[in-house]
A and B are shown apart, each in its own frame.
Chain A
Amino acid sequence: MNTTASAGSLHIQGLVKEYRPGVPVLKSIDLKIDGTGLTSIIGPSGTGKSTLIRCINRLVDPTAGAIWLDVGGQRLDMARLQGAALRHSRRHIGMVFQEYNLVERLTVMENLLTGRLGYLSAWKAWRRKFAPEDFERAYQLLDVVGLGSFANQRADALSGGQRQRVGIARALMQQPALLLADEPTSSLDPKTSVEIIQLLGDQGRERGIPVIVNIHDVELARRYSDRIVGMTGGHVVYDGPPAGLTDDHLQTIYGGQAWMQ
């Protein structure tokens, strides 16, 4: 299968986001993420993990700072792009959501094909004129995520784990240069959570692209990440390999210690 989509490298500089003026959620974030590997962002609720991820593909508009995405020899300024240029750059960034965000009344196959909408004119989309290789790729991806026989099922008939696999396959349909996942396991049981994280990591490695995951489960992050970014209060307070993450770090990130016993 074609996994030769060019890998993206992400460079975030001085990123600030204020939903209300004067109340920053992100307080100057600096991060460089490139090469292959699963980067987990951990931190307490409300610390801006989700905002950070959403700033990267501009589902949220940052207040200040720069987000550079290098892909295929091009440098995209994700923080400032607008209109068609923004939409074109979003095609390079796949996103997986906590609540899967599938279009419920469409089938699994149709949901996968929505991953190609960035490449389709509205006229073609209206006539459902997806390229034959899109269908081919969709079938291959369904096999990869283990849903080969589910192509014509409606999305709202699937279980949580199956839905998230469809969500991942949809993101991979974009042949992304970067894969984002916003708490992809928070609505899933422990066994399925492990499978989903493994799937994200495997696909990232196979395609040679970086994968950035927001995650609440510290143990899961430790076991499957190549790198951990710990955030608290809108700052990055830990950035390094899982092995280097100590109880002291966790106490800084989450506060208190009763939960660690």
Chain B
Amino acid sequence: MDAVNATARPASTAFAWSGKQKLALLALLAYTVYVIAQIDLSPARLLSGLHQGARFLSRMFPPDVGKMDVLWEGIRETLQIAVLATVGGVALSLPVGLMAARNMVPHWLCAGARGLIAVCRAVHPVITAIMFVKAVGFGPLAGILALTVATVGFVGKLFADAIEEISHKQIEAVRATGASFGNVVLFGVLPQVMSRFVGFATYQLDSNLRNSTMVGIVGAGGIGGALFSAFLRFEYSFVCTILATVIAIIVVGELVVNATRKALDV
């Protein structure tokens, strides 16, 4: 290598931070400091919070096991909400996801379906649940509808993205046989994405199980209602029972979902 070339090289910029990156980091730090100052985050407050927390925890024990009927009723509803919302939501996500895949449908239809999915995703399930409580009244139906919407928002998008990633060659071959659009979907698209679909659906069941314990807080059915009223009545020992049961259910649910995924090889 001759010396002339070597000196003509620009200074190395490998791994260097760009001006914009430095600016962004600085802005984030400045905002964090500003917010801490704004909300009066002092060590004294944190310390008194710890004391309160310790008192609260001590009042949770021993757990109250005298209201098992209330607990059981709530848990039953929670499971119903989770399962029905997953089944309904996944069933709706199939056509919505297909319509939202840019490689399968005309642009206008795809834009519409993507918009629908975005709306379903934009609002948190608890807020959707409040709206459905207003619409259909208190009870599990509102929770089922709220979590169905959330499922379409999440699973619909995953379905659409999965369909967009499929191999076009296999589609082309099925089209070349003279197959109709429906038959291309059945024999060209679904075989390529089915196992991933089952995977998404089981994940969503897991997620709906968690969320269905929460929609009850706004009156949309499930164990969340009992939990919230126990809080309001300072029945912390019953709160403890409910929380322990919820945690147990989530863990068991996850084990079941994992076992299912393993059994289905997805």
Q: A128 to B206: give the CA distance in the assembly, Å.
A: 32
Q: A105 to B193: give the CA distance in the assembly, Å.
A: 10
Check if A101 is an interface residue, CB within 8 A of chain B: yes
Q: A84 to B178: give the CA distance in the assembly, Å.
A: 9
**Contact between A97 and B179 (Cβ–Cβ < 8 Å)?**
no
Among the interface residues B177, B179, B192, which one has the most CB atoms of the partner chain A within 10 A? B177
- Residues in B neighbouring A158, C-beta threshold 8 A: none
Among the interface residues A90, A91, A99, A118, which one has the most CB atoms of the partner chain B within 10 A? A118
Check if B183 is an interface residue, CB within 8 A of chain A: yes
**B106 → chain A, closest Cβ, in Å?**
14
**Contact between B187 and A174 (Cβ–Cβ < 8 Å)?**
no
Interfacial residues of chain A within 124-143, with CB under 8 A of chain B in the complex:
125-126
- Residues in A neighbouring B194, C-beta threshold 8 A: 105
Whose C-beta in chain B lies nearest to the C-beta of A167?
Answer: B173
**Contact between B175 and A59 (Cβ–Cβ < 8 Å)?**
yes
**Contact between A118 and B177 (Cβ–Cβ < 8 Å)?**
yes
Q: A139 to B135: give the CA distance in the assembly, Å.
A: 58
**A158 → chain B, closest Cβ, in Å?**
14
Q: How many residues of A contact B (CB 8 A)?
A: 32
**B162 → chain A, closest Cβ, in Å?**
13
Q: A132 to B144: give the CA distance in the assembly, Å.
A: 44
**Contact between B177 and A114 (Cβ–Cβ < 8 Å)?**
yes
Given A114-B174, A125-B186 in contact, is the A105-B191 Cβ separation under 8 Å? yes
Contact of B177 among A90, A105, A106, A122 (CB under 8 A): A90
Q: A102 to B177: give the CA distance in the assembly, Å.
A: 12
- Residues in B neighbouring A145, C-beta threshold 8 A: none
Given A101-B170, A102-B170 in contact, is the A95-B176 Cβ separation under 8 Å? yes
**Contact between A87 and B179 (Cβ–Cβ < 8 Å)?**
yes
Check if A193 is an interface residue, CB within 8 A of chain B: no
Given A87-B178, A91-B178, A117-B178 in contact, is the A103-B186 Cβ separation under 8 Å? no
- Residues in B neighbouring A125, C-beta threshold 8 A: 182-183, 186-187
- Residues in A neighbouring B180, C-beta threshold 8 A: 84, 87, 117-118, 122
B: interface residue count bin: 20 to 34
**Contact between A101 and B177 (Cβ–Cβ < 8 Å)?**
no
- Residues in A neighbouring B167, C-beta threshold 8 A: 104
Check if A115 is an interface residue, CB within 8 A of chain B: yes
**Contact between A102 and B173 (Cβ–Cβ < 8 Å)?**
yes
**Contact between B179 and A103 (Cβ–Cβ < 8 Å)?**
no
- Residues in A neighbouring B187, C-beta threshold 8 A: 103, 106, 110, 114, 117, 125
Contact of A118 among B178, B188, B192 (CB under 8 A): B178
Interfacial residues of chain B within 181-218, with CB under 8 A of chain A in the complex:
182-184, 186-188, 191-192, 194-195
Q: A28 to B32: give the CA distance in the assembly, Å.
A: 67
- Residues in B neighbouring A174, C-beta threshold 8 A: 177-178
Q: A122 to B170: give the CA distance in the assembly, Å.
A: 18
**Contact between B192 and A114 (Cβ–Cβ < 8 Å)?**
no
**Contact between A122 and B183 (Cβ–Cβ < 8 Å)?**
yes
**Contact between A95 and B186 (Cβ–Cβ < 8 Å)?**
no
**Contact between A103 and B175 (Cβ–Cβ < 8 Å)?**
no
Contact of B172 among A84, A101, A110 (CB under 8 A): A101
**Contact between B179 and A114 (Cβ–Cβ < 8 Å)?**
yes
Check if B20 is an interface residue, CB within 8 A of chain A: no
Chain A 69-110, CB within 8 Å of chain B: the 1/0 string? 000000000000000100111110101010101111110001
Whose C-beta in chain A lies nearest to the C-beta of B186?
Answer: A125
Check if B233 is an interface residue, CB within 8 A of chain A: no
Whose C-beta in chain A lies nearest to the C-beta of B175?
Answer: A59
**A200 → chain B, closest Cβ, in Å?**
16
**A11 → chain B, closest Cβ, in Å?**
20
Chain B 68-87, CB within 8 Å of chain A: the 1/0 string? 00000000000000000000
Among the interface residues B178, B180, B184, which one has the most CB atoms of the partner chain A within 10 A? B178
- Residues in A neighbouring B183, C-beta threshold 8 A: 117-118, 120, 122, 125
- Residues in B neighbouring A103, C-beta threshold 8 A: 170, 173-174, 187-188, 191-192
Given contacts A87-B179, A117-B179, A170-B173, 15 further A-B contacts (CB under 8 A): A90-B175, A90-B177, A97-B172, A97-B173, A101-B169, A101-B172, A102-B170, A102-B173, A103-B188, A106-B187, A114-B174, A117-B187, A118-B179, A170-B177, A174-B177
Q: Chain B residues in contact with chain A, CB under 8 A?
A: 167, 169-170, 172-180, 182-184, 186-188, 191-192, 194-195
Residue pairs across A and B with Cβ atoms less than 8 A apart, 6 shown, are A59-B175, A90-B177, A91-B177, A101-B172, A103-B173, A125-B187
